[in-house]
Structure 1
Amino acid sequence: MLGVVVWSDAVTAGAVIWCDDHAQLAYLRGRENCQYALTWPQVGDLVQFSVCQNTGTRFARAVRVLAEAVLPQLPKDLVAAASAPLPPARAVPHLRRVG
């Protein structure tokens, strides 16, 4: 699976990944779950990983950084989108029979 890191803390070895399937977020815990433990994923990095589900929570395993700082503004964009008012519903024109 592919994803973008939306939160990261190298000190506690934790990260949150927004997944390309747009389902639940995946949580990365521990350096042992990174393929290259010396390079900790940062916010905005594009990562590849496998998912393990445990008690309804998705955990990222075998995480590998594919590209750094691809979407560093993604967390701010998600917060802005979540707090933006919904657009007004558009009127649907009535259908009419033709022929």
Structure 2
Amino acid sequence: MIGIILWSDAADRKAVIWCEDQGDLAYFSDPDLTYSDDTFLDVGDVVEFEVKTQRNMRLAANPRWIKQNAGSTLADGLRAVPMTQDHVISNTAQVIPFRAEPAPRARHTREDVKKRLG
């Protein structure tokens, strides 16, 4: 599965991933990872991962970077969508534009990631 990191916590080694199939979000948690805080998954990173369902929740495993910081504006776009007070489901969809950032961050190079992931 491929997805975009919507939220992450480097200290707790947790992340929430929006999946390519537009189904339920996937949750990643692995407190034993050897990532340093500055190389953990960041909001906007596009990752490939294995997914399994446990107790009606999607769990992500073995995330691998495809592109870093490609969708950093996506989480902000989702937060900006207004919610109705009664949460009525409408018959129309609201499309959130997805635009890739112009350049990847320099602090995570492909070689650095390969070295850390083994």
* TM-score interval, smaller chain: 0.7 to 0.9
Moved >2 Å (runs of 4+): none
Structure 1 equivalent of residue 56 of structure 2: 56
What are the Cα deviations for residues 59-85 of structure 1, in whole angstroms up to 9, with x where unaligned? 00111011110011111101112x167
Higher strand share: 1
Where in structure 1 are there 5+ consecutive unaligned residues? Answer: 90-99
TM-score (structure 1 length as normaliser): 0.75
Cα distance, 1:31 vs structure 2: 4.8
What are the Cα deviations for residues 26-65 of structure 1, in whole angstroms up to 9, with x where unaligned? 0000155x7xx42311000000001011000000011101
Structure 1 equivalent of residue 22 of structure 2: 22
Structure 2 equivalent of residue 95 of structure 1: none
Q: Does 1:76 align with 2:76?
A: yes
RMSD: 2.2
Secondary structure of the corresponding residue to residue 69 of structure 1: coil
Aligned length: 84
Task: Please identify the structure whose Cα radius of gyration is greater.
Answer: 1
Q: Is the 8 A contact 2:47 2:67 kept in 1?
A: yes
TM-score (structure 2 length as normaliser): 0.64
| Identity between Structure 1 and Structure 2 (%) | 34
Structure 2 equivalent of residue 42 of structure 1: 42
Where in structure 2 are there 5+ consecutive unaligned residues? Answer: 85-89, 93-118
